[in-house]
């Protein structure tokens, strides 16, 4: 099993919206992937982070059966639609992938 965790810090303002608005849109977009990408076993997103080092505005936790499945998810067109928006509103990103 592969666990995939991503933490984003958002720009104060981007795409005509404040960080909080963009975080909500990002959460909705990413959660919308549930049930649409077969290799995605579980995905959850939060924009209600009360403590993190480094600071972040949005966090994603997801699960995959294999590294190959994570790659399939990464290049999937529905995921890439999210990536296109996210790249416009993010100032930094941290990621960790690990095997259990």
45-71 residue pLDDT tens: 999 999 999 899 999 999 999 999 999
Separation between Cα atoms, residue 63 and residue 95, nearest integer Å: 14
When pLDDT is averaged across residues 32-46 and rounded to a whole number, the result is 97
Q: What is the pLDDT of residue 22?
A: 98
Structure tokens at 6: 């991503």
Domain assignments of the chain as residue spans, ordered by start: 2-99
Burial of 39 (0-12, 13-18, 19+ CB in 10 A): middle
Domain over 2-99 is classified CATH 3.40.50.10210: no
When pLDDT is averaged across residues 90-98 and rounded to a whole number, the result is 97
Q: How many residues does the chain have?
A: 100
Contact (CB, 8 A) for 33 and 82? yes
How far is Cα of residue 22 from the mean position of the Cα atoms in its chain? 13
- Does the pTM of the predicted model rise above 0.95? no
- The DSSP 8-state label assigned to residue 94 in this structure reads E
């Amino acid at each position: 099993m592969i666990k995939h965790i991503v933490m984003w810090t958002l720009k104060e303002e981007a795409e005509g919206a404040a960080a909080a608005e963009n975080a909500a849109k990002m959460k909705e977009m990413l959660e919308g992937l549930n049930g649409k990408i077969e290799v995605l076993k579980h995905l959850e997103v939060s924009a209600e982070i009360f403590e993190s080092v480094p600071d972040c505005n949005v966090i994603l936790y997801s699960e995959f059966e294999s590294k190959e499945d994570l790659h399939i998810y990464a290049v999937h067109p529905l995921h890439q639609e999210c990536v296109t928006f996210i790249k416009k509103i993010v100032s930094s990103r941290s990621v960790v992938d690990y095997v259990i």
